[in-house]
């Protein structure tokens, strides 16, 4: 999946469009943030500030929501979405070591994007391929029976 970067001014105008159509009710913040992420690929800080102002809500409350739910992204998505499954079946087969290899090799944590915007990394909890765990995915492709030493080869396929 190839992601296209959205200029910051477009992020603002898209955020405004989404906010304009909503009730200014803090109880709907999660849904609103989800809509923004679905439109922009993440929830930029500019959007957070706009929401805080328009909905008369403290930034700390917005940040609290964004950090509580691990599906929210605070960074722009990379060209390729990498996930590591930490569901039980994969975890017991060593998926933590796959995650550790990616985080140390590419210097990124789950929820982040590499500085060259090549990869975003997320943790998932079962992709339905438990029999071939530990599993990682890149975009829509599933890589089973992963080992830390195979990570470099897999990621090299995705420029």
Q: Which parts of this chain interact with ligand FES (CB under 6 A)? A: 85, 87-90, 126-130, 133, 135
Closest CB 82 distance from ligand FES, rounded Å: 14
- Comparison of 36 and 135: residue with beta carbon closer to ligand FES: 135
- Comparison of 77 and 87: residue with beta carbon closer to ligand FES: 87
* DSSP secondary structure letters along 58-75: -HHHHHHHHHHSTT--SS
DSSP code, position 2: -
Closest CB 136 distance from ligand FES, rounded Å: 9
- Comparison of 29 and 124: residue with beta carbon closer to ligand FES: 124
Helical packing angle, 29-40 and 8-20, nearest 10°: 140
Helix (H, G, I), strand (E, B) or coil at 99: helix
Q: Are 140 and 1 in contact (CB under 8 A)?
A: yes
Closest CB 87 distance from ligand FES, rounded Å: 3
Pairing state between β 80-85 and 119-124: parallel
Closest CB 99 distance from ligand FES, rounded Å: 12
* DSSP secondary structure letters along 7-20: PHHHHHHHHHHHHH
- Comparison of 51 and 90: residue with beta carbon closer to ligand FES: 90
CA 59 to chain centre: 20
């Amino acid at each position: 999946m190839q992601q296209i970067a959205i200029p910051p001014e477009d992020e603002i105008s898209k955020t405004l469009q989404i906010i304009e159509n909503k009730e200014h009710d803090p109880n709907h913040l999660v849904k609103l943030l989800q809509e923004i992420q679905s439109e922009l690929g993440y929830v930029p800080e500019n959007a957070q500030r706009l929401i805080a102002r328009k909905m008369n809500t403290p930034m700390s409350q917005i940040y609290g929501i964004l950090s509580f739910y691990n599906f929210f992204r605070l960074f722009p998505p990379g060209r390729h979405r990498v996930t590591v499954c930490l569901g039980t079946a994969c975890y017991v087969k060593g998926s933590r070591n796959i995650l550790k290899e990616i985080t140390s090799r590419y210097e990124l944590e789950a929820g982040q994007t590499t500085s060259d915007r090549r990869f975003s990394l997320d943790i998932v909890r079962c992709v339905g391929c438990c029999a071939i765990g530990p599993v990682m995915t890149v975009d829509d492709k599933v890589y089973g029976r992963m080992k830390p030493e195979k990570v470099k080869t897999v990621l090299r396929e995705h420029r």
